[in-house]
Structure 1
Amino acid sequence: MPGLMSNLDIMKEADAFPYEDTEPEASKTLNKTLYTLVWKDGQPLGFMLDTVLKELLATPEKVRGPVLVDEAKRTVRAFELPTAEERTKLVAGLMAYWREHGTFDILRGWRDELWPVFGSDDEVLYSVERSGTGLLGLMRYGVHMTAYVKDPTASYGMKILVAQRAANKSTYPNMLDNSVAGGLMTGEDPFECIIREADEEANIPEELMRERAKFKGMVRYIYITDERAGGEAGQIYPEMQWVYDIEIPTDFTATPKDGEVAGFWLWTVDEVREKLAQGRFKPNCALILVDFFIRHNIITPENEPDYDQIVRRLHRRLPFPGPHQVGVPTT
């Protein structure tokens, strides 16, 4: 059937930032539109579009603070106040100003959630309103969990819990997700975050989560937004996700709780793969499911000719500091 996505197509949609060694022309073209947001010592923090830099420079300096642009290196230095609290306040004022003036559509999805910006692997330089992180091209951190039940009558002996996003969500409405996911706020522990999200989205009890949810590693990729993300297309989203699995009891039924999920289904692996091929899943949720299938020996080097490329895109090397450079969490 024409138009179906391969596993590699699925990965390329989620990990869309071109690789310099294998996609040199696309990489060169994109980099002409980008500036690197750096810290004082030159440490990269994010990839900022030239259109965003233009608006940053057009914003009164009393709002955005001093900004230093090196056109030769295509770097930007900003928000370099003495303390994390002062930097966070400055960035918050900038985002509020842009929101008030309707500068960027993405800020209409304001979340009142602060996400961390790391200057080293464990130091938070400042925090940024969640909906504005993409404008600065900053690292984004989250948690994803795939729930499944054992079923010897189903293909591969399991069924997977799939969520459908609510029709009124500002991002990717009506698309499919893996079971539970959410963003990591400043200072939040990943495991505590997935417990919170499991309760809020699927009504999974904390006791069940602590007993059965298992950390399975990290994935790293760079997404480039389209209109489904609820704002300006083309924003750069470097992301790292802590990944969890949970085997849920056969008599447990997930139920929507906070309004972000329209409903849940238990689908066979073949049903999930069909929907993946049709492009029905939110791109990074599709990536999480490909990772799940690799870890459960459903996708293997023997049955997937693009296996090595897929694995590379699941664990992309990123130039930005943060916990993704350290290793796995202790929880």
Structure 2
Amino acid sequence: MPGLMSNLDLMKEADAFPYEDSEPEAYKALSDTLYTLIWKGGHPLGYMLDSVLKTLLDTPEEIRGPVIVDEAKRTVRAFELPTEAERTARVAGLMKYWRENKTFDILRGWRNELWPIYGKDDEVIYSAERSGTGLLGIMRYGVHMTGYVKDETASYGMKILVAQRAANKSTYPGMLDNSVAGGLMTGEDPFECIIREADEEANLPEELMRERAKFTGMVTYIYITDERAGGEAGQIYPETQWVYDIELPTDFVPTPNDGEVANFYLWTVEEVQQKLAEGRFKPNCALILADFFIRHKIMTPENESNYDEIVRRLHRKLPFPGPHQIAPSTASV
């Protein structure tokens, strides 16, 4: 059927940043439009667009603080104050200024949530407003969970719980989503975060989560936003997701609590695969489902010719410091 997306197409949409070894021309073309935000020791924190750097430099210095740009190396240093609290306050003041001056559309989706930026040794060097992280191109962290029920009448012996995002959400309205997902705030434990999100989004009891939810590893990728993300397209989102599975009781009925989910569906693997192929899922949720299919032997080297590249894109090597550098098998939750 024409127009359907392959599994690899879905991975390339979610992990959209070109690979230097296999896509050198595309990699160079994009890199030439970016500056690397670095920390004092020289290690990278994120990829900042030319346009954002220009806006940063045009912002009054009493708001942004000193900014050091190396044109030759295409690096930028900023927010280098003595303490984490001072640095966080500086970034908050910048984001507030941009928001009040309507500088970037993306800040209309202000969340009032602080997300961490890590230095070496997993030290949080400062935090930034969630909606503004893409402007700095810094690492973003979240949690995603796939819920399923055993059903011997269905293929693979299961049906998968799929959420549909509310039509009024500022990002990816109306698209299909994983059973439960959310962003990880500064200082928040990933497992406690998925428990909170499960309650808010699906009314999943805490005791059921603690008993049945299982951490399965991390996925890492670099997404590039389009208009569905809200605000300016082309922002660079290096992301890490802590991934969980939960086998749900057959009589469990999810109910949205926070207005972010419009509906839940319990679909067979084939129904989920069809919706994936139609491009109905939020891009990174398609990536999480691919990880689920691999772990549950639904996607295998025998039935997927691009298996190795899909696995590579699920676990992209990222240059930025942070907890994602811990091997998935030993990651702490």
TM range (shorter): over 0.9
Matches within 5 A, 1:153-302: 153-302=153-302
Matches within 5 A, 1:1-331: 1-327=1-327, 328-331=330-333
Name the TM-score, length of structure 1 as normaliser.
0.99
Aligned with 1:26: secondary structure?
helix
Give the percent of matched residue pairs that are identical in Structure 1 and Structure 2: 82
| Cα distance, 1:113 vs structure 2 | 0.2
- Counterparts of 1:278 and 1:96 in 2: how far apart (Å)? 39
Number of residue-to-residue matches in the alignment: 331
Deviations 1:194-238 (A, max 9, x none): 000000000000000000000000000000000000110000000
Deviations 1:142-184 (A, max 9, x none): 0000000000001111000000000000000000001000000
| Cα distance, 1:123 vs structure 2 | 0.1
Aligned with 2:128: secondary structure?
strand
Which amino acid is 1:105 matched to? Answer: D
Which amino acid is 1:125 matched to? Answer: I
| Cα distance, 1:17 vs structure 2 | 0.1
- Counterparts of 1:87 and 1:122 in 2: how far apart (Å)? 16
Q: Which runs of 5+ in 2 are unaligned?
A: none
Q: CA RMSD in A?
A: 0.6
Name the TM-score, length of structure 2 as normaliser.
0.99
- Counterparts of 2:29 and 2:252 in 1: how far apart (Å)? 50
Which amino acid is 1:120 matched to? Answer: K
Would the aligned equivalents of 1:121 and 1:326 in 2 still touch at CA under 8 Å? no
Runs of 4+, deviation exceeding 4 Å: none
Aligned with 2:238: secondary structure?
strand
Deviations 1:237-275 (A, max 9, x none): 000000000000001111111000001010000000000
- Counterparts of 1:164 and 1:118 in 2: how far apart (Å)? 32
Which amino acid is 1:330 matched to? Answer: S
| Cα distance, 1:330 vs structure 2 | 3.3
Which amino acid is 2:251 matched to? Answer: D
- Counterparts of 1:59 and 1:18 in 2: how far apart (Å)? 31
| Cα distance, 1:329 vs structure 2 | 3.1
| Cα distance, 1:31 vs structure 2 | 0.5
Aligned with 1:187: secondary structure?
coil
Q: Which runs of 5+ in 1 are unaligned?
A: none
